[in-house]
A and B are shown apart, each in its own frame.
Chain A
């Protein structure tokens, strides 16, 4: 998942808490092993190495792909799981290495869900194209783990995978979980959210960006242009019923750039947007 993952659990017996933790960890690793683009041999690796051939995917992968398509439609094509290849020309390491226009154009030939043929359960895309489920994988894992906890009796738990989190229930006799949304350290205080139940997800550019000629290029790339979304907010945090939903709204808002706040106000979720 690329980040520290934790389960905070209030259970009457230590053995039960340990078992819950075991199940959650196992599920998190299962999802990572299945969908990580860094690992060989999993379904994503097979899809990305298909070289134009049609691949039949399982139910779970199909569900994730369907969801990605919904987000592709809802975001006016700015959420696109085929945009991962842009990292070949964009490396967000805080330096000032901006790619040239022609470099970007070359890679853009391999970007675009409209080039993909998806007829559940068959996926076919031109050779050289890749899919990356990183944009929804972590949130999906959090929600799956929350479902597991509810299956096991629904103890008050906080599943937190690197800041994308779900609270299944408020801890007994305390009223809520306290989640801090980091402020800009020196000038801005942390905001504290009292979460009884529900999910929280954050999109942000805190550490990955490029800086050239005084201009900050956020790592949120617009797949329709190949360039970073102009005027993207620094950080957006969303509260929603599920982590997947929270993550989707925050990502979609980020992709709107300057129009992020307008978009967020039209939605029903509570949000914190920082520029």
Chain B
């Protein structure tokens, strides 16, 4: 046996092949093995106008395929939050002073300005993992766990989903369940509900750590209608139990006739609130039902994604969401996708702008604008493109605007002359890279 010398035979073979196959330019092969891991990463900026909340977030989802369509998903998100959020107190013509949630300091808001609490400089880390595998020919199961931590909040959760195909995979039925066990450790401690905001250093009305459990159940059906159309419908049930109040939000205690916030007698030498404010209180239970429908329709290269969601709960909030996306390809390597979202919700039963001293104290009350009556619109555009090494990048820019109204029956006296509902204007910018 001759010595096994490993020369390259490529040149000789290429010549011989040319001779055999005759003329005609043969293009060089372009092939690449698919990597085991798939990554989806993004950088997000969310910014509300003025001094309000700004969020910067980095996320990554990693997916690895194993034999037989089994895969592992891992994700990590890190959020950095700054900026101020409405505290629930209403505008006054005079300056107002509030004690910070920590109870260690106070801050003053000028007259005519919506009171914002800027205590929220926070970092949140969230991780999750999931495993999916097929069962037999037509079913699959997905199990996962999630956890997140910020300095005053911790979340732990598990979830599972089962899906089964019918009718040659034209119909899929799915059922999923998720359980969250969250705990709150608010700065300064959770305040006793509907008690007054106290002087700096006075933490006598504080409670300890709080818990919140959430159970989510989702049933869904996905149906292929035609070669170009697929639809999905989901019914969701959600039950929250525990501490559902926002520990940092207050309501202004106002005069029953003038509607102005009642002044507070200050102790000399002690910093504290200038007016009277009561901490909010929400029920310790909330049940939500949602019905969601989505359709994706392919029209000659363009894709229309339309969805509608109706939500109703036992806090008397009803909401409607319509989401439209229209993806238009540019050549073979990029696309543009305008996006429009309409949202409207009715106020919670216990939402009120302020608490009147002429009325008995309610059991539940909140002035949190997010439980109020408002309409919101999101308008944006996303541009996506394939990079030279066949990966995908995208950039989307969106504007989000909320405009709310306070029911006339809740407006007392001088409140009518002020702009009471904190409108929201935010910008969302997200850059994505998938490889």
Contact = CB atoms under 8 A, between A and B. Distances in A.
Interface stretch (A30-38, A43-51, A186-194, A203-211): A186-194
24 contacts: A70-B13, A170-B30, A172-B332, A173-B301, A175-B386, A176-B30, A191-B33, A192-B33, A192-B34, A193-B34, A194-B390, A195-B29, A196-B30, A197-B29, A241-B17, A241-B26, A241-B27, A244-B20, A248-B17, A262-B4, A265-B6, A266-B7, A269-B10, A270-B31
Interface of A: 63-64, 66-67, 70-71, 74, 76, 140, 143-144, 147, 150, 170, 172-173, 175-176, 178, 183, 185-200, 239-242, 244-245, 248-249, 252, 256, 259, 262-263, 265-270, 272
Nearest to B18: A242
A267 B8 contact: yes
A198 B29 contact: yes
Given A173-B301, A266-B8, A268-B10, A240 B29 contact: yes
Nearest to B329: A173
Contacts of B22: 63, 147
Contacts of B20: 63-64, 66-67, 140, 244
B199 to A, nearest CB: 66
B8 A196 contact: no
B4 to A, nearest CB: 5
Nearest to A173: B332
Interface string B12-36: 1110110111101011111111100
A163 to B, nearest CB: 15
Given A74-B9, A140-B21, A268-B10, 10 more contacts: A147-B22, A147-B24, A175-B390, A187-B67, A189-B65, A195-B30, A197-B27, A245-B14, A259-B4, A263-B4
B6 A263 contact: yes
Majority SS at the chain B contact face = mixed
B433 to A, nearest CB: 17
B66 interface: yes
Contacts of B68: 189
Given A266-B6, A268-B10, A67 B31 contact: no
Contacts of A175: 386, 390
Size bracket, chain B contacts: 35 or more
Contacts of B6: 259, 262-263, 265-266
Interface in B29-61: 29-34
B332 A67 contact: no
Nearest to B301: A173
Contacts of A143: 21
B67 A244 contact: no
Contacts of B31: 176, 193-196, 198, 200, 239, 270
Contacts of A194: 31-34, 390
A183 B29 contact: no
B2 A76 contact: yes
- Nearest first, the 9 A-B pairs at minimum CB distance are A198-B29, A266-B6, A196-B30, A70-B16, A192-B34, A189-B67, A67-B20, A195-B31, A239-B31
Most chain A CB inside 10 Å of its own CB: which residue of B27, B30, B31, B68: B31
A74 B12 contact: yes
Contacts of A190: 67
A193 B27 contact: no
B8 A268 contact: yes
Given A63-B20, A265-B6, A268-B10, A242 B26 contact: yes
A245 B390 contact: no
Nearest to A195: B31
